[in-house]
């Protein structure tokens, strides 16, 4: 038996994932209906690959043209003629070229100091517009996903008794069968968060980059624990709670980038309200059920104990981000300016 086989046997041990005495055969979807089990990792990987292929196409064909139409990008609103020499200097020094180099340039390219300075100013403005376009497109893709995910998730879970009563998530667990709509919803989300673990490293680096990586990792870990243990009811509730407000955050940032400040503030207020309803008020109720009700209504496992720890860690992130939102609102009211999502600002300011 190979080393890799031994590792897999240890990792997929029913002793960790399943109640005492149960085997993976109990949750064979071919024989007993749809269940969450170890085969789900293939669906998650396939969905992540599909989303990673869909993402650049959506950005290129739809979101980028919308951003350019709304005035973003250097091709729309700047009038600096291409000059290879000045372009190289801009990359080296930025818009503030040293005076001694300016004097040499005046002779070599037949431009006055004022013309060089004007070119650099326009080039800086073009770069700023291009950076805003990049951020607009990134937010646009997330908005499309979160809007679809939240809408589909609500339609899938709204009529489920266990969405409104947490005790129903545990009664009869982990032997619940999965409805097709919930099964599909879980794997759309799993694919997105798995794809995000890759794309977060190539997108514009944000000020909360480390927190976002931690959030994606914890979310994926939580999904894995609930799916492989067939606790898909509580897993789907987690997903909807974390997706339902984010579409409004992304469209608020998109409005900010194109200069629609009042509209962006409106969407940010909706986001803040939904955030507090779902992650500050309702999430503690879910957490209470996980910590104190589940153990009396189902057979717990080692995987479930890990799930408890991750659920608490996720709530800590919620609290930290909630303080960030409060700071945004407080600063906006104090300074009389528009609401902006400072938690996702660039590490390097524009």
Are residues 153 and 81 both part of a single domain?
no
* Residue 53 within any structural domain of the chain: no
Residues 186, 104 share a domain: no
Is 186 inside any structural domain? Answer: yes
The reply to whether 113 and 140 lie within a common domain is no
Q: Are residues 149 and 93 in the same domain?
A: no
Token pair 């024989």 is at which residue?
31
At 283 the pLDDT is 92
pTM above 0.85, yes or no: no
Q: Which domain holds residue 80?
A: 75-124
**Same domain? 149 vs 118:** no
User: Is 151 found in the same domain as 87?
Assistant: no
Sign of CA dihedral 31, 225, 324, 285: positive
Per-residue pLDDT of the chain (350 residues; tens, 9 = 90+): 566 666 666 677 777 888 887 777 776 654 455 666 666 677 888 888 999 899 999 999 999 999 988 888 655 445 556 666 666 666 666 666 666 666 666 666 666 667 667 666 766 767 777 788 888 999 999 999 999 999 999 999 999 988 888 999 999 888 888 888 888 898 889 889 888 888 777 776 666 667 777 777 888 888 888 888 888 899 999 899 988 999 999 999 999 999 898 899 999 999 999 999 999 999 999 999 999 999 899 888 888 999 999 899 889 988 988 998 888 888 877 766 655 555 455 544 43
96 lies in the same domain as 147? no
Residues 95 and 215 in one domain: no
Neighbours of 326 (CB within 10 A): 12
Tell me if 15 is assigned to some domain: no
Look at the block and give the residue holding tokens 């996720």.
314
- Specify if 248 maps to a domain: yes
Question: So what's the pLDDT on residue 80?
Answer: 54
Task: Please count the structural domains in the chain.
Answer: 2
Q: Is 103 exposed, middle or buried (0-12, 13-18, 19+ CB in 10 A)?
A: exposed
Tokens encoding 162: 């266990």
Nearest-angstrom CA–CA distance, 143 and 191: 16
Same-domain pairing of 151 and 291: yes
CA distances to 162, 227, 230, 279 from 156, in Å: 12, 17, 18, 20
We report the CATH number of the domain holding residue 94 as 1.10.10
pLDDT of residue 150: 94
40 in a structural domain: no
Flag whether 63 is in a domain: no
Go through 68-89 and write b for each residue having 16 or more CB atoms within 10 A of its CB, e for each that does not. Answer: bebebbbeeebebeebeebeeb
Residue 142: exposed, middle, or buried by beta-carbon count in 10 A (0-12, 13-18, 19+)?
Answer: buried
Beta-carbon-side half-sphere exposure of residue 91 (alpha carbons within 13 Å): 5
């Amino acid at each position: 038996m190979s080393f890799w086989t031994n590792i897999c046997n240890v990792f997929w041990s029913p002793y960790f994932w399943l109640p005492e005495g149960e085997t993976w055969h109990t949750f064979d979807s071919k024989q007993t209906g749809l269940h969450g089990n170890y085969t789900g990792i293939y669906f998650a990987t396939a969905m992540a690959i599909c989303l990673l292929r869909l993402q650049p196409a959506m950005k290129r064909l739809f979101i980028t043209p919308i951003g350019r139409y709304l005035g973003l990008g250097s091709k729309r609103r700047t009038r600096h003629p291409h000059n290879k020499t000045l372009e190289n200097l801009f990359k080296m020094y930025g818009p503030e070229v040293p005076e001694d180099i300016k004097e040499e340039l005046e002779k070599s390219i037949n431009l006055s100091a004022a013309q060089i300075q004007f070119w650099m100013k326009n080039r800086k403005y073009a770069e700023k517009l291009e950076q805003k376009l990049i951020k607009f497109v990134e937010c646009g893709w997330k908005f499309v996903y979160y809007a679809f995910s939240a809408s589909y998730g609500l339609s899938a879970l709204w009529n489920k008794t266990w969405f409104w009563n947490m005790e129903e998530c545990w009664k009869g667990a982990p032997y619940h069968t999965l409805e097709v709509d919930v099964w599909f919803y879980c794997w759309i989300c799993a694919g997105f968060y798995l794809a995000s673990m890759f794309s977060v490293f190539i997108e514009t680096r944000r000020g909360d980059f480390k927190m976002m990586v931690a959030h994606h990792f914890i979310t994926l870990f939580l999904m894995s624990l609930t799916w492989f243990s067939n606790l898909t009811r509580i897993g789907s509730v987690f997903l909807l709670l974390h997706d339902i407000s984010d579409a409004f955050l992304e469209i608020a940032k998109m409005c900010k980038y194109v200069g629609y400040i009042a509209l962006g503030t409106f969407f940010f207020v909706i986001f803040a309200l939904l955030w507090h309803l779902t992650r500050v008020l309702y999430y503690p109720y879910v957490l209470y059920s996980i910590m104190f009700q589940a153990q009396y209504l189902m057979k717990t496992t080692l995987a479930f104990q890990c799930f408890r720890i991750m659920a608490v860690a996720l709530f800590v992130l919620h609290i930290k981000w909630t303080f960030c939102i409060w700071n945004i609102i407080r600063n906006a009211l104090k300074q009389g300016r528009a609401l902006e999502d400072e938690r996702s600002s660039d590490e390097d300011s524009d």
